[in-house]
Amino acid sequence: MIGNHRGGYEMKISSVRLFAVFVLSVTIAVGCAWRLAYQRAEKYANQHRWDDAVDECIEVLKKKPDYTEAQILLVKAGRESFDQHAGNITYYLGDENWDAALVEYRRLEELKQKLSQIQLIEPKVIQQLQSEGRATFGFLGVVLQKITPTMAEIKRFPVTEGVLIISVVPGGPADRYLRKGDIVVSVDGEKIRTSSEFLRIVSEHFPGDQVTMSIIRAGKTKSLILTVGNRMEYLEQVPMTFDQLLSFDKVLQERDRVRELAFKTHFKKGKDFLEKGLNRPALEEFDKALELKPDDIEARRAYQEAKERILIRIAVPRFKNLTEYPGLEDFLTSKVLSEAIARKTELIDFIDEDEYDEILKRYRMSLSDLYESSLKLGKLGVVNALFTGSILEITRSEKKSSKEIKVKEHKYRKDPKTGEKQYFTEKKPAKVFTETRYVTAAVSFKVTDVTTGRVAISRTIEKRVRSETRWTNYRGGVVKVQDSYYPMGGVPPSEMWTAILLGTEEIPSDKQPLLSFDSLAKQALKACAEEIAEEVVSHYR
């Protein structure tokens, strides 16, 4: 009894230890996860990848909400990301690039949603960090845009490299020195090509340091000396939400106006293209307009008009069957249509035989003289192409073969003296039988442009399929057959050559039924239909 109690007690202690180890492992893993996330956030901040830094800070604070360093870094990264996107919006609006501005609005909205998950740190925490010297971020308070050669050419800038001042933070360190439209060429003698280079140099300074800056204003070069400020001074009265801190609503309230301007721009471009007969560009512009205002009736009507002008209507009468096997033409026609419809774009329409027959009757034309009737409909703009085809040939064949094998049977017998089991292997002769059915389908097809009478595509396709079964006359169960490859043209292995095992196949003792020739013919025709549909749709896509 005592032993049993002791054993139960030991098992209980062991379980407790295992649980403790598990809890410790999970704790360590979670701790490592947020530390790694914070390291990534710092790395992204150093690279001025502010959106990525925001994402990593949020991940840290989800796991460890009281981690002050991550809170401080999130304030910095959130501010920088906001300034970057807001600056881009200002630039694109000035350039009347409404689409690019809307992209930046969307990114700003995404930033707002991300930051809404986190409550900001309190002012007393910032003050504490400032007193400890851990919150000294160099800061000038400008929003920048990289100058590209294309921009320089359009705006007629005197330089092709540098950064453009988009806006200056009111009351910030640069407020009295820099203006919107200034071009920064160098800082501390280092040439500036991107906003990241500018921010890197400034952030390397401590608040109170001075930086020299070479700028171009109104075509004239000027040299300035600015005193670097501390961003945290502007966060001493930090509100409890980023919405208030970054004035998201103030920036985003312009979005609806910009969306309306973008809509009107695309709609007008579409109408201009339509009047000039440039139907595809018109369709693209109307499509962009509808993305901005999906319920606009006038834009929807214009989109349909442009679409009707470039819609490719392809008539697909029933394929002909030139073989001795009836009924396959309906199967092939149906498969070609279904595969083509599955692959087509919005600007391609396939017309089946019933619908085409109705069109011909409406225009009092005959289905018997299909080609001439289609040419007339092509001139009227009712259809654009005639898609015809024929099953040229269905060939069937069978092949039977057999192969002699040796089956290893593992047996045992009792030793008459000792009574122990003695195992041995006995080989028995057997045969493996193979029966294979083959079907090859040959299909020709042609697509004729009935507006011009020219043949667009003309091809013949062949597809071969098979059904195979193998069985053995061995009745002792399933046989595993090993197929070997012998080098030197099939010479059996010797002292010089070793057989290479390719695989093992299990062969039943009962013959399994083969697929019928009709089923195989449909498989081959389906493979033809897939290739035909892909080629036709690709031609008009």
Q: With contact defined as beta carbons under 8 Å apart, do 537 and 343 qualify?
A: yes
Whether 168 and 217 map to the same domain: the answer is yes
pLDDT at 357: 86
Rg (Cα) of the chain, in Å, rounded? Answer: 39
pLDDT at 525: 96
The pLDDT tens digits for 361-394 are 888 886 667 778 888 887 887 889 999 999 999 9
Domains held by the chain: number: 3
CATH number of the domain residue 169 falls in: 2.30.42.10
pLDDT at residue 25 above 70?
A: no
CA-based torsion, 82, 88, 92, 97: positive or negative: negative
Whether 108 is covered by a domain: the verdict is no
Whether 204 and 337 map to the same domain: the answer is no
* Burial class, 416, CB count within 10 angstroms (exposed 0-12 / middle 13-18 / buried 19+): exposed
What whole-number distance in Å separates Cα of residue 331 and Cα of residue 329? 5
Whether 287 and 196 map to the same domain: the answer is no
pTM summary value? 0.53
pLDDT at residue 519 above 90?
A: yes
pLDDT at 4: 47
Whether 226 and 369 map to the same domain: the answer is no
The pLDDT tens digits for 169-214 are 777 788 889 988 899 999 999 998 887 788 778 877 888 889 999 9
Whether 396 and 525 map to the same domain: the answer is yes
Whether 472 is covered by a domain: the verdict is no
Residues near 174 by Cβ (< 8 Å), separated by ≥ 6?
140, 141, 142, 168, 226
Reported confidence tier of residue 447, pLDDT bands at 50, 70, 90: very high
More confident residue, 536 or 485: 536
Whether 390 and 537 map to the same domain: the answer is yes
More confident residue, 350 or 28: 350
Q: Which of 177, 185, 179, 193 is nearest to 228 (CA)?
A: 177
Reported confidence tier of residue 225, pLDDT bands at 50, 70, 90: very high
Whether 449 and 340 map to the same domain: the answer is yes
- Final residue of a domain: which of 174, 205, 237? 237
Q: Which domain holds residue 535?
A: 311-424+435-464+521-541
- Final residue of a domain: which of 293, 309, 325? 309
pLDDT at residue 343 above 50?
A: yes
Whether 516 is covered by a domain: the verdict is no
CATH number of the domain residue 387 falls in: 3.40.50.10610
Whether 326 is covered by a domain: the verdict is yes
Comparing 333-337, 441-445, 471-475, the range with the smallest average pLDDT is 471-475
Average pLDDT, the chain: 79
The mean per-residue pLDDT over the stretch 401-413 comes to 80
Q: With contact defined as beta carbons under 8 Å apart, do 348 and 541 qualify?
A: yes
Whether 279 and 335 map to the same domain: the answer is no
Q: Is 219 in a helix, a strand, or coil? A: coil
pLDDT at residue 436 above 90?
A: yes
Q: Which of 105, 38, 124, 129 is nearest to 77 (CA)?
A: 38
Reported confidence tier of residue 438, pLDDT bands at 50, 70, 90: very high
DSSP string across 442-461:
EEEEEEEETTTTEEEEEEEE
Whether 247 is covered by a domain: the verdict is no
The label of the residue with tokens 């008459």 reads 416
Whether 183 and 223 map to the same domain: the answer is yes
Whether 528 and 395 map to the same domain: the answer is yes
Q: Which of 102, 118, 146 is nearest to 251 (CA)?
A: 102
Whether 1 is covered by a domain: the verdict is no
- Give, rounded to a whole angstrom, the gap between the first and last alpha carbons of the chain: 84
pLDDT at residue 144 above 50?
A: yes
Whether 400 and 273 map to the same domain: the answer is no
Residue 329: count of CB within 10 angstroms of its CB: 19
Whether 409 and 300 map to the same domain: the answer is no
Whether 365 is covered by a domain: the verdict is yes
Whether 486 is covered by a domain: the verdict is no
- Final residue of a domain: which of 247, 278, 309? 309
Q: Which of 167, 189, 182, 173 is nearest to 221 (CA)?
A: 182
